[in-house]
Amino acid sequence: MSSVLYLVLLFGAAVSAKHVLPSYVKTCSRNDPNLSECALKRGKEIIPKIIKGDPSIRLPVLDPMMLDKVGISTTGRANGGGLQLTCYKCNVYGLSNAVLQDIKIDLAKKHIALKIFVPQLSVAGKYDVNGKLLLFPITGNGQANITLLDLKAEAALDWKLIKRKGSEYAHISRDRVDFTASRLKLSLTGLFGGDKALSDNMNQILNDNWREVLDDLKPSISGTVSEIIKFTLNNIFDMIPYELFFPEK
């Protein structure tokens, strides 16, 4: 999920170049006849740089990326019932290997679409869970590791312009995230009050049925990622007037 976040952070950095931004960030002219192509090239150039984080543009370290608290919840399908899973001080690993595959920017429509590939993305940390997954009641707390392989994510963002102190600032008003993965791997220690046999058994079941588990969790994961993207991007956008994003030349 956070691969998308990564990419959007990248975009935020790329577009906010000029005086606030470090020298490794190059912008694209708004008059470039092929703005999307330019943005893709720039984006690929700066990925390896920004992954290390940069306090001068409020970019946190991105691999691992620390998230204070992440919640996943489902309302449940016909036989399922809802689930609440919360991860505390979770680390997201794997964004260093993210590959930016495509960017489409439409300045007139204030719209950007991104495609990114991440070979392996893991979210690991302390968790607690309560509810039902597949057909099974599931409760517990311990260490979680939720890993997606061959993650392909697409994000579509719209921004609007807000006037403040005589300048215009971009603000992400809408974003949608979708993703696919070739595999979901789950490890949840301490299920069922720490009963190891039951816990191991449930982990086995969840991994054997990872497709169904991913189907269940997908809307909620996408929604969470969306919120993180908006929050992070808007933090960056708040600092830099829009006209600096895409200079005249």
Chain residues in the site for ligand NAG (CB under 6 A): 33-34, 37, 93, 122, 124, 145, 147, 185
Question: Nearer Cβ to ligand NAG, position 85 or 240?
Answer: 85
Measured in whole angstroms, the distance separating CA 230 from the mean position of its chain's CA atoms is 10
Question: Nearer Cβ to ligand NAG, position 57 or 92?
Answer: 92
Cα–Cα distance measured from residue 187 to residue 191, given in angstroms and rounded to the nearest whole number: 10
Spatial contact of 89 and 64, defined as CB atoms under 8 Å apart: no
Measured in whole angstroms, the distance separating CA 88 from the mean position of its chain's CA atoms is 17
- Nearest-approach distance from CB 197 to ligand NAG, in angstroms: 21
State which amino acid sits at residue 48: P
Question: Nearer Cβ to ligand NAG, position 97 or 234?
Answer: 97
- Nearest-approach distance from CB 92 to ligand NAG, in angstroms: 10
- Nearest-approach distance from CB 122 to ligand NAG, in angstroms: 4
Question: Nearer Cβ to ligand NAG, position 51 or 188?
Answer: 188
- Nearest-approach distance from CB 94 to ligand NAG, in angstroms: 9
CA torsion sign for 38, 172, 91, 196 is: negative
232-235, long-range: CB < 8 A, 24+ apart? 232/5, 232/8, 232/9, 232/12, 233/8, 233/9, 233/11, 233/12, 233/157, 233/172, 234/171, 234/172, 235/58
- Nearest-approach distance from CB 91 to ligand NAG, in angstroms: 7
Question: Nearer Cβ to ligand NAG, position 13 or 35?
Answer: 35
